[in-house]
Amino acid sequence: MQSGYYSSAAGMVTQFNRLDVIANNLANVNTIGFKEDNVIVGDFMRLFKEARDELPNANQTKEAAQFLNRAMTKAPQIVDSYTNYTMGNMQNTNNTLDFALSREGLFFVVKTPQGIRLTRDGSFVKDDEGKLVTKAGYEVLPDDYFASQNPISFNSEDSVIEVDKNGQIYTNIPNTAKLIPNSKLFIAQPDNINLLKKEGDNLYIYDGPSDFKSIKNSGAVLQGSVEKSNVNAVKMMTQMIETNRLVGMYQKAMDTQMNEMNRDAIDKIAKKG
């Protein structure tokens, strides 16, 4: 079978995978704190240059040529993926328990059944027990959690809740307007943001050291606001159109290759007949 057919099929699969990423970005264009994902499509020459020194056979040999012909093709393929962590626009909600982080690389820390996770989604609520939780029900942690193991909680008499730019929470003395310190939001800054992995529910798991330290004076907490998704809907739609066109081109190339193969087979059978 002609190698062009395989190359076209591989190129189509690559565009399908790219389309999945684009569709997921578009689906989260209104998700608070969502960060856009992207893929990098590489070609044969780039892959060869990167892997040349790691090939099992010496370069410029017959064995190496056979290995390359057998193991690599000229078809484009996804060689890497990454998340764009640039900030989204801030949206004022006037909701007391909505928070945004005005600096890149900072995250709220929450507790899930699977362990400690990070998030940029600061749209919080109080549960039935008065604990501060995410919309999915995960506890929002205070900066002293690893020492105290206590959650952020409020009682029914806390009618006033204010949070400063460093995440310090203040609540009122019962039946008065005087504020006293409560807990403080755990604001974390991973040493290497590239070690973050998305886990669903707008959460990130960190593959680096798990002993996070709270940023004491972040100056980044905005109460009554949320950070919108950083997905550019127009750009994503343009990429989707481009990807669909490439899929059509690869399909046309595959049809042409198949027609030529069928024609060759018919001619050879006719000649033998």
**What is residue 71's predicted lDDT score, i.e. its pLDDT?**
47
Span 234-250, average pLDDT: 91
Compare 41 and 152 and report the one with higher pLDDT: 152
Residue 203 phi/psi, 5° resolution? -110, 155
Beta strands in 124-239 (DSSP E): 124-126, 132-134, 139-140, 161-163, 168-172, 179-184, 187-188, 196-200, 203-206, 221-223, 225-227
**What is residue 259's predicted lDDT score, i.e. its pLDDT?**
73
Compare 264 and 93 and report the one with higher pLDDT: 93
- Sequential DSSP letters for 106-172: -EEEEEETTEEEEES--BEEE-TTSBEEETTSPEEPBTTHHHH----B--TT---EEE-TT-EEEEE
pLDDT in tens, 60-105: 566 555 555 544 556 677 777 889 999 999 999 999 999 999 999 9
Q: Where are the domains of the chain?
A: 3-85+232-272, 90-227
Asked if residues 52 and 59 have their Cβ atoms less than 8 Å apart, the reply is yes
3-state secondary structure of 248: helix
17: enclosing H helix or E strand:
helix 3-27
Greatest alpha-carbon span in the chain:
102
Span 20-37, average pLDDT: 95
What the block records as the tokens of 87 is 């900030």
Question: What angle is formed at CA 228 by the lines to CA 226 and CA 234, rounded to 5 degrees?
Answer: 165
